């Protein structure tokens, strides 16, 4: 390697190393120049003293601008006062490219401006910290499923049938075959795969033409979905609880620096322990009405309802067995109360709300046909899905966790757009 990374500098105390990166900040006291360089793994202060470097190199300082790309060479010195504990006494510098008028200056900018410049804004400390946490959350997810012997099944993005709800479909012409839809979920395909593998998961982008302008909705988001043969709705909740605790413990261990940068109060995350409270939909409505919500039995919890409800608990809370009318067609009807389905949403605390939607699935051929017809969905598009109920149908359950909703909660963000590198929302397709 012809260069080193800032995260490794402690291994090179007293030695000469070369860093390649971008100029984060600079200042000068005439005979001493200070350069803060970042390379993606950290930020280090370089000190350049007149007389200790070639005069030509010392003079290059005057050309430097914020975000110019440079290569610096110097000796690593321990220094308590330096941000990372080390600084570089520079002996050489090369300019790779001079940046002209970088638009994101140290002064505050509005969020529209920042997201219009997302391609550059990614370099700033806050998005850097958030996306590092996102990276760790995704590693935790994959690690959990790998350790628990779930098999990764990649589900298609182009699909021929409604996965969740007809109202938020992205439609496209599919060659000469007619319409295709961008996947709203991979679930239906996972249900096919459980009969081969038992426990499976998928992880991919999902698409919903959400026309609402909220802090919680993207039109393209990443969902991790699990499906388990022979699990009922309770087993499914137990699994989600275990899974979420694994993720929280993972980030608490790996993301301390990022949480510090984000000023995230991690004491709220440290309270996430088993068991999570579980309340029925009936009880949720009762509690909400008492708290002043206008919700009527039968309608879905709105964003504000979720906020009110989750502030009643310090841990994530399951709300189970919703009315059939507010949930998707594939959920298993309650055996004793025909108006309900066996399902659960997991709502994150501190007002964040739904991060997981899950349910036991309808495994009965005739009753599923009825539900598909009731929802006015085209029966022939579900022929393959219905066949799964003919050849060794078993009780089964599964769930989907929205990655950006989870990142938003774990990082303590106020808007979901910060939780994904390039957000797609009702008004945003650029950059
Ligand atoms: O509750 P949903 O719609 O459930 C499903 O899609 C099921 N097929 C999952 C399953 O059982 N396999 O979506 C699951 C999660 C939500 O809880 C939420 O976290 C996230 O996906 N989500 C969104 N995130 C961002 N923007 C949107 N528009 C979202 N819609 C759902
Ligand atoms: Mg849901």
Nearest CA to ligand 1 atom 6: 185
Is the Cβ–Cβ distance between 88 and 76 less than 8 Å? yes
DSSP SS3 for 203:
strand
Cis peptide before 431 (omega within 30 of 0): yes
Q: How far apart are CA 139 and CA 89, in angstroms?
A: 36
Cis peptide before 374 (omega within 30 of 0): no
Ligand 1 atom at shortest distance from the alpha carbon of 358: 11
Nearest CA to ligand 1 atom 29: 217
Is the Cβ–Cβ distance between 410 and 248 less than 8 Å? yes
Q: How far apart are CA 149 and CA 60, in angstroms?
A: 56
pLDDT at 83: 78
Under CATH, which number does the domain 6-97 receive? Answer: 2.40.50.140
pLDDT in tens, 74-132: 999 999 988 789 999 999 999 999 999 999 998 999 999 999 999 999 999 999 999 99
Nearest CA to ligand 1 atom 11: 399
CA distances from 37 to 5, 21, 88, 92, 347 (A): 11, 6, 10, 14, 41
Which ligand approaches the C-alpha of residue 244 most closely?
1
Ligand 1 atom at shortest distance from the alpha carbon of 210: 28
In the chain, which residues fall in CATH 3.30.930.10? 118-419
User: If you average pLDDT over every residue of the chain, what do you get?
Assistant: 97
Radius of gyration of the chain (CA): 26
CA distances from 270 to 312, 315, 346, 370 (A): 17, 10, 18, 45
DSSP category for residue 389: T
pTM of the entire structure?
Answer: 0.97
**Residue in 223, 306, 403 to alter for ligand 1 test, most ligand atoms within 8 A of Cβ:** 223
Q: Domain 118-419, CATH 3.40.50.880 — does that match?
A: no
- Decide whether any atom of ligand 1 lies within 6 Å of the 241 Cβ: no
pLDDT in tens, 5-57: 999 999 999 999 999 999 999 999 999 999 999 999 999 999 999 999 999 99
pLDDT in tens, 321-356: 999 999 999 999 999 999 999 999 999 999 999 999
- Decide whether any atom of ligand 1 lies within 6 Å of the 371 Cβ: no
- Decide whether any atom of ligand 1 lies within 6 Å of the 218 Cβ: yes
DSSP string for 57-100: HHHHGGG--TT-EEEEEEEEEE-TTSTTSEEEEEEEEEEEE---
* Element of type H or E holding 403: helix 403-411
Q: How far apart are CA 260 and CA 265, in angstroms?
A: 9
In the chain, which residues fall in CATH 2.40.50.140? 6-97
- Decide whether any atom of ligand 1 lies within 6 Å of the 404 Cβ: yes
The number of helix segments (H) and strand segments (E) in the chain equals 13, 16
> 421 C-alpha vs ligand 2 centroid, how far in Å?
23
> 259 C-alpha vs ligand 1 centroid, how far in Å?
26
- Decide whether any atom of ligand 1 lies within 6 Å of the 300 Cβ: no
């Amino acid at each position: 390697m012809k260069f080193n990374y800032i995260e490794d500098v402690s291994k090179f105390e007293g030695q000469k190393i070369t860093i390649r990166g971008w100029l984060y900040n600079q200042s000068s006291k005439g005979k001493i120049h200070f350069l803060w360089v970042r390379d993606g793994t950290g930020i280090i202060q370089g000190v350049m003293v007149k007389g200790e470097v070639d005069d030509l190199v010392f003079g290059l300082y005057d050309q430097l601008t914020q975000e110019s790309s440079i290569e610096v060479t110097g000796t690593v010195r321990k220094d308590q006062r330096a941000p990372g504990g080390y600084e570089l006494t520079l002996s050489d510098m090369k300019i790779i490219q001079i940046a002209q008028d970088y638009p994101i200056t140290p002064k505050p900018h509005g969020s529209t401006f920042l997201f219009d410049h997302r391609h550059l804004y990614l370099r700033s400390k806050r998005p850097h910290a958030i996306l590092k946490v996102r990276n760790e959350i995704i590693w935790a997810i994959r690690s959990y499923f790998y350790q628990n012997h779930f098999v990764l099944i990649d589900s298609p993005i182009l699909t021929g049938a409604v996965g969740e709800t007809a109202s938020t479909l992205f439609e496209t012409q599919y060659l000469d075959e007619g319409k295709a839809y961008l996947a709203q979920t991979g679930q239906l395909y996972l249900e096919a795969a459980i009969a081969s593998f038992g426990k499976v998961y998928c992880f991919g982008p999902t698409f919903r033409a959400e026309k609402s302008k909220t802090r919680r909705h993207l039109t393209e988001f990443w969902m991790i979905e699990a499906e388990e043969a022979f699990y009922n709705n309770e087993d499914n909740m137990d699994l989600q609880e275990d899974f979420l605790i694994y993720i929280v413990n993972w980030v608490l261990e790996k993301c301390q620096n990022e949480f510090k940068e984000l000023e995230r109060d991690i004491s709220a995350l440290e309270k996430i322990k088993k068991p999570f409270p579980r309340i029925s939909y009936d009880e949720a409505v009762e509690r909400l009405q008492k708290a002043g919500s206008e919700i009527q039995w039968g309608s879905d919890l709105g964003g504000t309802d979720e906020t009110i409800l989750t502030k009643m608990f310090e841990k994530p809370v399951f709300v189970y067995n919703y009315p059939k009318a507010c949930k998707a067609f594939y959920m298993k009807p309650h055996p004793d109360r025909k108006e309900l389905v066996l399902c659960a949403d997991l709502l994150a605390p501190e007002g964040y709300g739904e991060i997981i939607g899950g349910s036991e699935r309808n495994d009965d051929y005739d009753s599923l046909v009825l539900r598909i017809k009731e929802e006015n969905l085209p029966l022939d598009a579900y022929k393959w899905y219905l066949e799964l109920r003919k050849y060794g149908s078993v009780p089964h359950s599964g769930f989907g966790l929205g990655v950006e909703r989870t990142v938003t909660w774990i990082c303590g963000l106020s808007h979901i757009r910060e939780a994904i590198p390039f957000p797609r929302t009702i008004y945003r397709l650029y950059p």
